[in-house]
Amino acid sequence: MGIIEKDIIIIGAGPSGLVCAIEAAKQNLDLLVLEKGLLVNSIYNFPTNMTFFSTSEVLEIGNIPFISHSDKPSRKEALEYYRRVSTAYNLDIRYRQTVKSVEKKHFKFEIKTQDQTYHCQYVIVATGYYDTPNLLKVNGEDLPKVKHYYDDAHPYIGQNVAVVGAANSACDVALETYYKGAHVTMVIKDDSIYEKVKYWIKPNIENRIKEGSIKAIFKSQIKEIYSDRILVDTPDGEQEIANDYVLAMTGYRPDYKFLKHIGITLDPEDHVPVFDEQTLESNIKQLYIAGVILAGDNTSKLFIENTRHHGKQIITDIKQKISANYA
Ligand SMILES: Cc1cc2nc3c(=O)[nH]c(=O)nc-3n(C[C@H](O)[C@H](O)[C@H](O)COP(=O)(O)OP(=O)(O)OC[C@H]3O[C@@H](n4cnc5c(N)ncnc54)[C@H](O)[C@@H]3O)c2cc1C
């Protein structure tokens, strides 16, 4: 196929990419979304039974009401909602298009995926963080029993499971697997459950730990993983614990290698990209950043709720630039 030309190309069909696409569509701009996986790929890969911590109202985009059965929607409801949003706006999304490079050539950007070249005037990068887990960086992490993504509890019934971490996802996973019959040990590097764990989860996990139904080893870290056990560094010395699965719920981070590769400058300390607060334009003229990647390492600071306005900010600036070019 020949080169595909568009005014605006958005990389990523998560909530942020969709918001940008909707705003561009509202302005009758010629847009295309390139997505390496599926529509809202990250949400699709969230735990099967997860419930959002936000109410459905604050996850709404494009002025389309999000109706859920209880105050906080489930993953399944969110998938249905974002599917309806994308069809309502008839967005042009090309799936299975993994962006490998973005290069400015003369006055245009050239974007290459695994099998196609695209040209455009404006690029919006909205690639999220869910594809790059924070690794434990210990021997044995590459064993198949170590998971950085949790799906559902069934595989862990009756097994010795180590859950690493103490934030929302780790607490959710520890509780869900325990209630389904796993023998759960939490390995936590600090001396308590993370203080900002949601108020409806925190007392539950703390009480399960107190009564001993979920074991927790605080101020500890996994040192090595073997097929049948783990070696844990604890304040009382090294401990060997029988183990069938390690569920490393240690968070995710944007793909910094990709961002640097396309020329975005990142802060050397916290990897926050260089961007204009008002327009979200990066250090590269006419290349914008949307969504959670703007937070760098501080991924818990930005989420769907507080990034829904990014699309408007970016498209307002693009519209002004286009008008200035025609003036
Ligand atoms: C378990 C969990 C629960 C959460 N609950 C809430 C909540 O209750 N409320 C809330 O507001 N937020 C919540 N969040 C956070 C929220 O999911 C994220 O903030 C949101 O998904 C970020 O949207 P995004 O569009 O920036 O990134 P993403 O949703 O991650 O979308 C990025 C997209 O880009 C695609 N992509 C990546 N690289 C490429 C490439 N090279 N080429 C093409 N496509 C690419 C990905 O496949 C993906 O579809 C939760 C997160 C988790 C993990």
Shared-domain flag, residues 214 and 75: no
Residues having CB within 6 Å of any atom of ligand 1: 11-17, 34-37, 41-42, 46, 50, 52-54, 98-99, 126-128, 130-131, 169, 258, 291-292, 303-305
**Integer Cα distance of 121 and 322 in angstroms:** 10
Strand, helix or coil for residue 223: strand
Shared-domain flag, residues 103 and 207: no
Ligand 1 centre from 17 Cα, in Å? 10
Shared-domain flag, residues 244 and 260: no
What angle, rounded to 10 degrees, do the helices at 202-211 and 168-179 form? 50
Residue 232 is part of a domain; what is its CATH number?
A: 3.50.50.60
Q: Is 141 within a domain?
A: no
Ligand 1 centre from 110 Cα, in Å? 25
Q: Is 138 within a domain?
A: no
125-153 residues labelled b (16+ CB within 10 A) or e (exposed):
bbbbbbbbbbebebebeeeebbbbebeeb
Cβ neighbors of 10 (< 8 A, separation 6 or more) are 17, 20, 21, 24, 31, 32, 33, 34, 123, 124, 126, 290
Shared-domain flag, residues 102 and 199: no
Shared-domain flag, residues 41 and 120: yes
Shared-domain flag, residues 262 and 114: yes
Shared-domain flag, residues 66 and 150: no
Q: Is 236 within a domain?
A: yes
Mind listing the pLDDT tens digit of every residue in the chain (327 residues)? 799 999 999 999 999 999 999 999 999 999 999 999 999 999 999 999 999 999 999 999 999 999 999 989 999 999 999 999 999 999 999 999 999 999 998 889 999 999 999 999 999 999 999 999 999 999 999 999 999 999 999 999 999 999 999 999 999 999 999 999 999 999 999 999 999 999 999 999 999 999 999 999 999 999 999 999 999 999 999 999 999 999 999 999 999 999 999 999 999 999 999 999 999 999 999 999 999 999 999 999 999 999 999 999 999 999 999 988 876
User: What is the number of domains present in the chain?
Assistant: 2
Full domain range(s) for residue 91: 4-132+252-326
Shared-domain flag, residues 51 and 118: yes
Shared-domain flag, residues 241 and 265: no
